[in-house]
Amino acid sequence: MATVITVRGPFAFMRRLVSARLHRHCCSKVQAACFVSQPYSYSLIAGQQHRFFRTSYVAARPVMQFKLSDIGEGIMEVTVKEWYVKEGDKVSQFDSICEVQSDKASVTITSRYDGIIRKLYYDVDSIAFVGKPLVDIETDAGQVEGPQEDVVETPAMSQEEHTHQEIKGHKTQATPAVRRLAMENNIKLSEVVGTGKDGRILKEDILHFIARQTGAILPPAPFQEIRLPSPEAVAPSTPAAKPKEKMTPPSIPTPSIPKPVFTGKDHTEPIKGFQKAMVKTMSAALKIPHFGYKDEVDLSQLVRLRSELKGLTESRGVKLSYMPFFIKAASLGLLHFPILNSSLDDNCTNITYKAAHNIGLAMDTSQGLLVPNVKNVQMLSVFEIAVELNRLQTLGAAGQLGTADLTGGTFTISNIGSIGGTYAKPVILPPEVAIGALGKIQVLPRFNHKGDVVKAHIMNVSWSADHRIIDGATMSRFSNLWRSYLENPASMVLDLK
């Protein structure tokens, strides 16, 4: 009976072993040998002797270089702030890989593949460059359909941007149809607030986002009517009846003051992130000749109006501050003085008058000074401005402001009075041409129209304007109009759109 011996070993070793056996049999001129080839299996037949050599191995899985794609605004480098994975970790599509920070916003990069992380190209706080590899991911062969390469597109956004980059801590949930609509309009899903279940982005959310960007008017979304309860309904029918709970507006976390640590040693650290952007912006602002103008505003009537509306807005889940009134009054003033909502080109030969009133709000955050803006204020009511401010303040406190929120501003107001101080000297943010700084509201004695001393709520305002195209008279007239709207809030009703 023939003896069968099965040996397993590396393919190269077995090939050399078979070749040696063939050579030996041929040289000794023994019985003719017949070589039969099969995939990865070799058989040497010599008389009744059979030897089978088989090799087995696991096919290598392709390793894909996941490159950092363009995140817009001409940004070519970012700082890696945190890694959410390490080498050897298994990831799925849309899993968070790392958080990067540019001089515009913090962005979370998510995976476009299912696989295993094989290499991280950067350490924390290192500079990563757009178009360069970020990580290596070992993937299944079925996921790769020919060579793929990340394309850096400017200014249009690549499809990868829409589906694989998001604001920190938020995954975008949307149907393919909604994603296609966003991609066709160059909109990042991560910058759209979803109103569907679990934050899912709906088609209506995309359309309203487009409307805010372009100033288009859309049919109002269905809004639940708020009915004030009657006195009979307010009074409990029985002693055991519990009052109905009121919807509370979202709370904005207040930054905690860390305990100072004295080391006794000098240390040097690089300027990066938002601080780097501030250096660049303020250096450019030095080229602008600033004209300053200061005044005081009596907000006594506005204080009473806000106290009357505060309960109603809180019942709708929105916190109402004075800032929506300040912003809306500024927008009404810009309609009369559009040069304050313009920009001057680098050669100082052309002035561009901006149609949209994208009014920025200087915001103090843990990441530094940020200036998000409310888009198309000229199209919004005071309540709608309050809703948008609540959103921006919540995102700012969490460090999740997106690029769309931080860019495109045309006019800025800094509420330095929320921290303290009365007057300031605000610095213009290029390419804008004007900015205002608001002091704290103080209760001070003033004379009324009868000559009696009364208690008044006084706020100081400081304006700065680009004196190359804005003269003092224009700034003064704008400030007077803005002040009149705030001192007599009812007058704003006449000019509201």
CA 51 – CA 41 distance, rounded (Å): 11
Query: If we measure between CA atoms, which residue out of 122, 481, 178 comes closest to residue 332?
Result: 481
Assigned token pair, 194: 């979803």
How distant, in Å, are the alpha carbons of 201, 235, 375, 391, 411 from that of 316? 21, 22, 22, 14, 29
- CA-CA-CA-CA torsion sign (146, 148, 153, 157): positive
Q: Please list the active-site residues.
A: 467, 471
CA 221 – CA 494 distance, rounded (Å): 25
Would you say 289 and 467 are in contact if contact means Cβ atoms under 8 Å apart?
Answer: yes
Query: Which spans in 95-168 are helix H?
Result: 159-164
CA 480 – CA 297 distance, rounded (Å): 9
SS3 233: helix
Q: For 2-35, what is the HEC assignment?
A: CCEEEEECCHHHHHHHHHHHHHHHHHCCCCCCEE
CA 312 – CA 302 distance, rounded (Å): 16
Query: If we measure between CA atoms, which residue out of 174, 197, 216, 386 comes closest to residue 188?
Result: 174
